[in-house]
Every structure is written in structure tokens, then in C-alpha cells.
Structure 1
Amino acid sequence: MKNSMTVAAVVLALIATPVLAQGRRGGGGGQDKAADTKPKVDEKAYKAALDRIPEPKEKYDPWGVTKPADAAKKPK
């Protein structure tokens, strides 16, 4: 009887440990300070930077490396 109570106590302790770890919150508001130090985004400068990016002359093919160049020219 004493042995089964010990096993039951160990099983309950093993089950309860992850539950307690998930419920803990640490830091006490450390995320608020990090959000304040983040630089502000200037929408005008962002749009101006996007306008300075040149348009590509050829369309980019991400799978072009995997297939040979002759395969695109051959009709099926």
C-alpha cells in the first residue's frame, strides 16, 4: 500500500511540474520598455526608398537554376 502511494505521488509530481511551468509569468513588464525604444517608421521616407528601387529588365525566375536553359526554348 505504501509503495503504490509513493508511485502515485511521483506520477502526480511529474504531471504537475510542466503545468506549473506554463503558468508562470516572469519579467514583470519588460516588454513595455522594449516597445518604447523601437524607432518610429517614417512612411514618407519608406515610400521614397521604394521608388528609388529600379525595375528589373527581365522577369526573375526562382526555378531557373533547377532547370536547364534549353528546356525553356524547346516546344513540347
Structure 2
Amino acid sequence: MKSFTMAAVIVALIATPALAQGRRGHQQDKATEKKPQIDEKAYKAALDRIPEPKEKYDPWGITKPVDAGKKPK
């Protein structure tokens, strides 16, 4: 009888974390919340206000010396 009780306690302790993982009802409420509407006209107008760069951006420009493209004579 004592071994049966110990086995039942061990099974109950092992099954408790699995039961806790199965209860995820509160996450469904977050999924049903309304997301804000994106105004396409305002988005495109904001993109149009960004000025075009005068020069092409070179991310490696500061790592190369200015005369790197010229060959010495």
C-alpha cells in the first residue's frame, strides 16, 4: 500500500507541469484585440517628404583611403 501511494504521488508531481502548460486561455484575448488602422495616404505622403540623397551612401567609405582607386606610377 505504501508503494502504491508513493507511485501515485510521483505521477501527480510529474503530471502537474504538463497540466499547467495546457492552460493558455488568456493569450486568446490578446489576439482578438484590434490593431490600429494604417493610413496609406499619410504613409505615402511621409515617404514623399524624405529628401533624395545628393550622393550615393558608401558604408565602407571611412575604411578606405581616398586614393584607393588610383594606381601609383
TM-score under structure 2 length normalisation: 0.55
- Give the AA of the match of 2:38: V
Aligned to 1:53: 50
Residues in 2 aligned to 1:14 and 1:29: alpha-carbon distance in whole angstroms: 28
- Unaligned runs of at least 5 residues, structure 2: none
Aligned to 1:41: 38
Cα deviation, residue 39, structure 1:
2.6
Aligned to 1:30: 29
- Unaligned runs of at least 5 residues, structure 1: none
Residues in 2 aligned to 1:53 and 1:15: alpha-carbon distance in whole angstroms: 59
SS at match of 1:73: coil
Please state if 1:73 is matched with 2:68. Answer: yes
Residues in 2 aligned to 1:60 and 1:24: alpha-carbon distance in whole angstroms: 52
Change (3 A) 1:13 1:60: farther
Point out the structure with the larger helix share.
1
Cα deviation, residue 46, structure 1:
0.8
| RMSD (Å) for aligned C-alpha atoms | 3.6
Equivalent residues, number: 67
TM-score under structure 1 length normalisation: 0.54
Cα deviation, residue 43, structure 1:
0.8
